[in-house]
């Protein structure tokens, strides 16, 4: 169990000392480190961070999911800084906003990465290549000896700076899929509590190997593929491109990956490209961020012999709330309820309440999902009012619509923000999406959004990626389903697109979808 004075850096030092020669991390560039080498490398890099960011509270990190990116995060924690992993997939404006809001003056990055990603240099950048050149062989040797010989407590005393005064471990900017990104402040205690809960639920061990395909600017990447292995003491193999199924399959086979955290869309790609033997060592493949379609789950199971396990979380909860894995009452994933994201993790409470009145808890009745636990965020950066409104009597208001049965299994049915009020009736986007998806091939995707309508307040717009069906045919098929007529988009509001806009995490970019619908709607209006 995490103690009140624990930090991520302290826990890593203790794990690294205990597992000095054990495999710690690798990436697709071929770089591999034991825990001992990872400790030495992060201690050396922490000295560079300290000298270049003196007096600065926050430090920006602009690096992919890789050995270098992991060491940079560890080093920032060792140096007592608050790392802010910048979302390079969201564009320069989003990065500039994060830098400005966090008052970041130093950004640790790599020239090689900037070149590959096509990113322009930013003020205050410090390059890993330069830091490595400036570190002498003597300094490396001395640090190796110190890290190997000194006990963990002495390393902590000598090399670890005092952590952030408020205990903040990182600031993660939400994806902004439905609105302006928020800077979510997560403490060391938050993340350690979530690691402890996940470990108790999944029963991790030092023989596990995580396949790290999520970016560190994403909460699941930061907790699940960065700090979870480092704190518990097992290995991780990184590849920064979650859509590159060929390389991911090779990494999974080479390092005998037992754990995968991804999205259903990415796993659908792995099913089509990866060989069964490449995922032979998997214990759990956990998916989230979007609804798991039965066809995707069935194809993955047939190909690899493993169930895709649904999980649920949010950045504000550090981030994992529930995972549909077996516990003492259930011995196999075969016996778990399909369509559920599981029970809340140990140490986390959840309840369903009436959307309008707040009455509850409700059982087997759809309502608003509230959660609480030691992993609940400190708050939103510079926005105390929004922080207060995010909680209701100590419970975090997720904004998700769900049901919970008597055994505690949660099913997410919609998002509160994903309803449209059409002619006075609340129309759920996800229900329309599910009906649309049933009419399309499994390999195709769809998404529903809304635009203002002068007659009915709002109207639905749906995008789909099947080039073989016309909007008129799809409209006729929808009309023959059990959907209420009010829920069926107009024929002209069913639109084919080559691809549904997504974020760097693989999640549907609902803002981009809405903007596209608005632009197309304005174009079609008579002059």
196-221 per-position pLDDT tens digit = 999 999 999 999 999 999 999 999 99
So what's the pLDDT on residue 94? 86
* Angle, vertex CA 320, rays to CA 318 and CA 324, nearest 5: 175
Band (17; pLDDT cuts 50, 70, 90): very high
Sheet holding 494-496, edge to edge: 446-453, 457-464, 494-496
CATH number where 72 lies: 3.40.50.12780
Give the domain range for residue 433. 425-524
Number of domains in the chain: 2
222-244 confidence digits (pLDDT tens): 999 999 999 999 999 999 999 99
d(CA 117, CA 87): 12
Q: How many CB atoms lie within 10 A of CB 91?
A: 10
Residue 358 has pLDDT above 80, yes or no: yes
Domain end marker among 203, 220, 250: 203
Answer yes or no: is 223 within a domain: no
CATH number where 489 lies: 3.30.300.30
So what's the pLDDT on residue 148? 97
Band (3; pLDDT cuts 50, 70, 90): very low
Q: What is the mean pLDDT of the segment spanning 422-448? A: 87
Band (53; pLDDT cuts 50, 70, 90): very high
Answer yes or no: is 28 within a domain: yes
Answer yes or no: is 210 within a domain: no
So what's the pLDDT on residue 93? 85
Band (524; pLDDT cuts 50, 70, 90): low
Q: What is the mean pLDDT of the segment spanning 143-171? A: 94
Q: How many CB atoms lie within 10 A of CB 385?
A: 8
120-139 confidence digits (pLDDT tens): 999 999 999 999 999 999 99
Give the tokens for residue 257.
């990956």
d(CA 65, CA 215): 5
Could you give the percent of the chain with pLDDT greater than 70?
Answer: 95
d(CA 351, CA 344): 10
Answer yes or no: is 510 within a domain: yes
Q: What is the mean pLDDT of the segment spanning 491-501? A: 93
Which residues neighbour 216 within 8 Å (Cβ) at sequence distance 6 or greater?
Answer: 61, 63, 65, 69, 70, 73, 85, 222, 225, 226
Q: What is the mean pLDDT of the segment spanning 359-365? A: 95
Chain mean pLDDT for the chain = 92
Answer yes or no: is 351 within a domain: no
Inter-residue contact 291 to 315 (CB < 8 Å): no
Domain end marker among 203, 233, 254: 203
Interhelix angle 152-159/137-149, rounded to 10 degrees, is: 140
Domain end marker among 175, 203, 231: 203
State yes or no: cis peptide before 408, omega within 30 of 0: no
CA-to-CA separations, 485 to 102, 427, 464, 479, in angstroms, rounded = 48, 11, 20, 7
So what's the pLDDT on residue 334? 65
Interhelix angle 152-159/8-18, rounded to 10 degrees, is: 140
* 3-class DSSP state of 137: helix
E strand or H helix that includes residue 380: strand 379-380
Tell me which DSSP letter residue 318 carries. Answer: S
Residue 279 has pLDDT above 50, yes or no: yes
d(CA 70, CA 241): 15
390-403 confidence digits (pLDDT tens): 999 999 999 899 99
Answer yes or no: is 260 within a domain: no
Q: CA dihedral defined by 291, 296, 301, 306, rounded to 10 degrees?
A: -30
d(CA 317, CA 399): 13
Could you give the percent of the chain with pLDDT greater than 90?
Answer: 77
Which residues neighbour 37 within 8 Å (Cβ) at sequence distance 6 or greater?
Answer: 24
Answer yes or no: is 121 within a domain: yes
Answer yes or no: is 173 within a domain: yes
């Amino acid at each position: 169990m995490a103690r009140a004075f624990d930090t991520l850096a302290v826990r890593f030092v203790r794990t690294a000392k205990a597992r000095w020669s054990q495999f710690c991390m690798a990436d697709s560039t071929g770089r591999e480190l034991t825990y001992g080498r990872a400790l030495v490398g992060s201690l050396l890099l922490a000295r560079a961070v300290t000298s270049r960011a003196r007096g600065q509270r926050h430090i920006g990190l602009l690096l992919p999911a890789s050995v270098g990116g992991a060491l940079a995060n560890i080093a920032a924690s060792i140096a007592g800084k608050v790392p802010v992993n910048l979302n390079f997939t969201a564009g320069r404006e989003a990065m500039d906003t994060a830098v400005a809001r966090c008052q970041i003056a130093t950004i640790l990055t790599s020239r090689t990465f900037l070149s590959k990603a096509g990113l322009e240099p930013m003020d205050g950048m410090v390059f890993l290549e330069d830091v490595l050149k400036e570190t002498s062989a003597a300094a490396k040797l001395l640090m190796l000896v110190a890290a190997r010989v000194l006990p963990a407590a002495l390393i902590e005393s000598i090399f670890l700076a005092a952590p952030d005064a408020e205990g903040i471990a990182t600031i993660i900017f939400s994806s902004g899929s439905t609105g302006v990104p928020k800077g979510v402040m997560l403490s060391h205690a938050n993340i350690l509590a979530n690691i402890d809960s996940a470990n108790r639920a999944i029963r991790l061990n030092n023989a596990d190997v995580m396949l790290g395909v999520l970016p560190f600017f994403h909460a699941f990447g930061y907790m699940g593929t960065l700090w979870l292995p480092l704190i518990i003491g097992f290995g991780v193999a990184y590849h920064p491109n979650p859509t590159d199924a060929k390389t991911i399959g090779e990494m999974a086979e080479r390092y005998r990956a037992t754990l995968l955290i991804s999205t259903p869309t990415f796993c659908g790609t792995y099913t089509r490209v990866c060989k069964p033997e490449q995922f032979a060592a998997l214990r759990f493949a956990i998916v989230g961020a979007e609804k798991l379609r039965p066809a995707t789950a069935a194809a993955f199971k047939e190909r690899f012999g493993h169930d895709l396990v649904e999980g649920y979380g949010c950045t504000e909860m550090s981030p994992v709330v529930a995972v549909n894995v077996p516990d003492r009452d259930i011995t196999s994933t075969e016996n778990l309820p399909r369509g559920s994201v599981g029970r809340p993790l140990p140490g986390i409470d959840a309840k369903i309440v009436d959307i309008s009145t707040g009455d509850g808890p409700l059982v087997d009745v759809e309502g608003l999902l509230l959660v609480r636990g030691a992993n609940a965020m400190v708050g939103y950066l510079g926005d105390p009012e929004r922080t207060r409104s995010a909680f209701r009597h100590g419970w975090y208001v997720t904004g998700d619509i769900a049901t919970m049965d008597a055994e505690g299994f949660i099913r997410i049915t919609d998002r509160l923000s994903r309803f449209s009020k059409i002619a006075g009736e609340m129309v759920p986007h996800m229900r329309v999406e599910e009906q649309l998806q049933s009419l399309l091939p499994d390999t195709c995707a769809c998404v529903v959004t809304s635009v203002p309508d002068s007659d009915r307040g709002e109207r639905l717009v749906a995008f789909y990626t099947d080039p073989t069906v016309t909007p008129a045919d799809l409209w006729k098929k929808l009309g023959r389903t059990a959907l209420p007529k009010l829920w069926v988009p107009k024929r002209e509001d069913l639109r084919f697109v080559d691809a549904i806009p997504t974020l760097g995490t693989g999640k549907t970019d609902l803002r981009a979808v809405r903007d596209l619908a608005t632009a197309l709607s304005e174009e079609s209006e008579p002059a």
